[in-house]
């Protein structure tokens, strides 16, 4: 229903796809873009989604496609290297080269709910990772309060009126302030559901 209600190119980029997911125990619909080359590479290598924080932490310290001497890695990084699944890195002659990159990008998470307050509380869980919006499934009570809070927190406020989507407050665009293990794990957890 939501996929038919969101006109392509308005709230989400035209190339984004919509998919229902469960993240942080919250049912949401995400607008995402696959890195096709990376997904195909992972499929060919048999690389599973990467969910171990120690492996992701190691990968964040390795440049993509550049050889790094294994001797420069710390003992915890060497342990993580041993735990890295197939297709993540190439090891040769005492060096390691990172192959893997993030498999997708998320443009927007839309959290449906009966009431705007509970839906906004759930949408806040997505704050460090992507733009977010709530979709209220029934007429809004205290509409002005809902719009004020949504605007203040940068959460989009959407309502379905019949089969039409009413954008009461557009979501604030997401600006990635830093790269984190949690951010990469968020993408990998979604990739596991979308693969």
Angle between helices 53-60 and 75-83 (to 10 degrees): 110
- Over residues 151-190, the pLDDT tens digits come to 999 999 998 877 778 889 999 999 988 889 999 999 999 9
C-alpha span between 101 and 168 (Å, rounded): 36
Q: Record the pTM.
A: 0.87
C-alpha span between 191 and 101 (Å, rounded): 12
């Amino acid at each position: 229903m939501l996929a038919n209600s969101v006109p392509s190119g308005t709230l989400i980029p035209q190339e984004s796809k919509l998919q229902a997911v469960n993240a942080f125990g919250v049912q949401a619909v995400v607008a995402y873009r696959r890195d096709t080359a990376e997904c195909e590479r992972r499929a060919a290598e048999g690389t599973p989604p990467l969910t171990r924080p120690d492996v992701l932490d190691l990968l964040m310290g390795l440049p993509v496609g550049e050889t790094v001497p294994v001797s420069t890695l710390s003992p915890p990084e060497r342990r993580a290297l041993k735990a890295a699944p197939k297709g993540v890195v190439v090891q040769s002659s005492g060096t390691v080269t990172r192959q893997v990159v993030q498999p997708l990008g998320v443009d927007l998470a839309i959290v449906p709910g009966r009431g705007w307050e509970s839906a906004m509380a759930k949408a806040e869980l997505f704050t460090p990772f992507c733009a977010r919006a709530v979709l209220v499934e029934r007429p809004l009570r205290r509409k002005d309060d809902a719009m004020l809070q949504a605007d203040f927190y940068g959460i989009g406020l959407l309502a379905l009126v019949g089969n039409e989507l009413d954008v009461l407050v557009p979501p604030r665009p997401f600006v990635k302030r830093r790269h984190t293990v949690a951010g990469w794990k968020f993408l990998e957890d979604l990739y596991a559901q979308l693969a």
